[in-house]
Amino acid sequence: MLHQASIELKDLKLDTKIGTYGPDDVVPDDHLLDLTLWIDPKLVLIPQDGMDHVFDYDPLIIEIDLIAADGHYDTQERLMTRIVQACAKYQAIHALEISLRKGPVRRGSGSLGVKVSVDQATLHSMR
């Protein structure tokens, strides 16, 4: 039987600058990140309480914040790529799904985003 476990991060507001906008363009107020990390279930179904039994995601979130604030990005895709590269450094992450969206898009409404799923083989090739 195949067992899976995940850690889910939803609606993380990133302090980032993405895109180039003209005077009449709608400039997004927010860039929101969703990230699902697929990990070994042994890091979730633990025999006893303690940080040494789980995946410590705090350092990754700190790195994501640093990457997001690391200058101007022309595209959401480049920021996403750098976040995936940061995730690839962690052997505990077997696969991931990442989504980055901005809003509003038009007249104060809507969101526009990019999503990608990265499998174990792709993460391995990035390591």
- Residue 58: domain span: 5-126
**Residue 102 · residue 112 · CB < 8 Å:** yes
For 8-34, what is each residue's pLDDT tens digit? 999 999 999 999 888 888 889 999 999
Number of separate domains in the chain: 1
Whole-angstrom distance, CA of residue 36 vs CA of residue 52: 21
Closest CA to 94 of 64, 118, 62, 73: 118
Task: Compute the radius of gyration of the chain from its Cα atoms.
Answer: 16
For 44-82, what is each residue's pLDDT tens digit? 999 999 999 999 999 999 999 999 999 999 999 999 999
Q: What is the CATH number of the domain that holds 20?
A: 3.30.1130.10
Asked whether the CA dihedral 63, 27, 76, 71 is positive or negative, the reply is: negative
Query: Which DSSP letter does residue 106 get?
Result: B
Whether pTM exceeds 0.85: yes
Whole-angstrom distance, CA of residue 124 vs CA of residue 95: 9
